[in-house]
Amino acid sequence: MDLETRFQLIKGVGEEIITEKELRTLLETNDHPAAYDGFEPSGLAHLPFGVLRPILVEDMLKAGVRMKLWIADWFAWVNNKMGGDLEKIQEVGKYFIEVWKAAGVDMSKVEVLWTSEAAAQEEYWKRVITVAQNTTMGRAQRALTIAGRTTKESLQAAQLFYPMMQVADIFWLDVDICQLGLDQRRANILAREIADRMKWKKPVAVHHHMLIGLQGKKEPEGSFDEDGAIDAEISSKMSKSIPETSIFVHDSAETIMRKVNSAYCPPKVLEGNALIEYSRYIIFRKQKSLRVERPEKYGGNVEYSSADELEGAYRSGGLHPADLKKGVGQALDGIIAPIRDHFVKDASARKLYESVKSAETTR
């Protein structure tokens, strides 16, 4: 695969790339750079984790990138997920691996690593302490937003380890690219600054889009980022802690349609429209077209071959919200079905799902 194709594949993953020039130089000098994406094990898999992330991993692999999937069990422990029970957290980590398998990730082409394995080694903690020594208290507190915590919340002292560990991970894993969500940008920017200071390898940051919740766009509160647009995107992301605004990979066809029918989807409006967004970021990346079934008196069935074509029809009023909801709901169900079925048919996967489902989950 030529350099430009590889570059465009990764550019398609990253809504923000810091920097594109550095990425191009990296690809010119390294046919198989290493990248990582980190996952805090907590709760059941929803669209952003169970469907979008595997799509992004697939594109990174196509570009020749060596992907490291970092199961951040100690991060979830620090962040009091699953009631702060490390054994339950690690059970969720095993469940995450099953989700990736079911979603079609070629596990032979990725490296799955656990924070707990790194944390057992002295050298890892030397990295953490070195990062902390080069970070002010104020900067560490600002970076806590990467854990989904705002600066307005009352925090435990242990949570200050979170950003220090995450930055240390980048250098511990020896990666060239940090391929994380836009909500993790503060940690990656801090890592780049520390790399300059310590003369360590400076990572390229590839930040992917945060999939919006069914409720639509929220007003920015200034809690997650100084940039209002980025802050609004992070604030509006689909959250597992609010089930009715999220679609899970275990939801039935009926549940998916019920949730889709309640989504923010005003006529002719694209901005903040959850279903328009799912079409662009998921449906048209998983299939070549979106078929919308409707009665002849409303124009009959129609098929859209691209997100731009769909958005144009919706903006003009040529596609009614009710018809969009039906088409998106059916398409999402078709995409989710193989994942859902895996946890029904595979006994060990089903056991993990039932364990995670029954476990107490906390924010």
pLDDT band for position 149 (cuts 50, 70, 90):
low
Q: What angle do CA 308, 310, 311 make, to 5 degrees?
A: 65
**Distance, CA of 157 to CA of 334 (rounded, Å):** 45
Complete DSSP assignment for 243-292? GGG--BTT--HHHHHHHHHTS---TT--TT-HHHHHIIIIIHHHSS-EEE
pLDDT band for position 361 (cuts 50, 70, 90):
very low
pLDDT band for position 28 (cuts 50, 70, 90):
very high
Mean pLDDT of the chain: 92
223 pLDDT above the threshold of 80: no
CA 318, distance to chain mean position in Å, is 32
User: pLDDT by residue (tens digit) across 274-327?
Assistant: 999 999 999 999 999 999 999 998 889 999 999 999 999 999 999 999 999 999
What domains does the chain contain, in order, with CATH numbers? 3-208 (3.40.50.620), 241-358 (1.10.240.10)
User: pLDDT by residue (tens digit) across 124-135?
Assistant: 999 999 999 999
303 and 327 Cβ atoms separated by less than 8 Å: no
180 phi, psi to nearest 5 deg: -130, 175
pLDDT for the residue 67: 98
Task: Please give the residue that has the higher pLDDT: either 218 or 22.
Answer: 22
User: pLDDT by residue (tens digit) across 225-254?
Assistant: 777 778 778 888 998 888 899 999 999 999
Tell me whether the omega of the peptide bond preceding residue 150 falls within 30 degrees of 0, making it cis.
no
Token couple for 35: 């990248």
Q: Is-above-0.75 flag for pTM? A: yes
Helices 3-13 and 53-62: crossing angle in degrees, nearest 10, is: 170
**Distance, CA of 206 to CA of 237 (rounded, Å):** 18
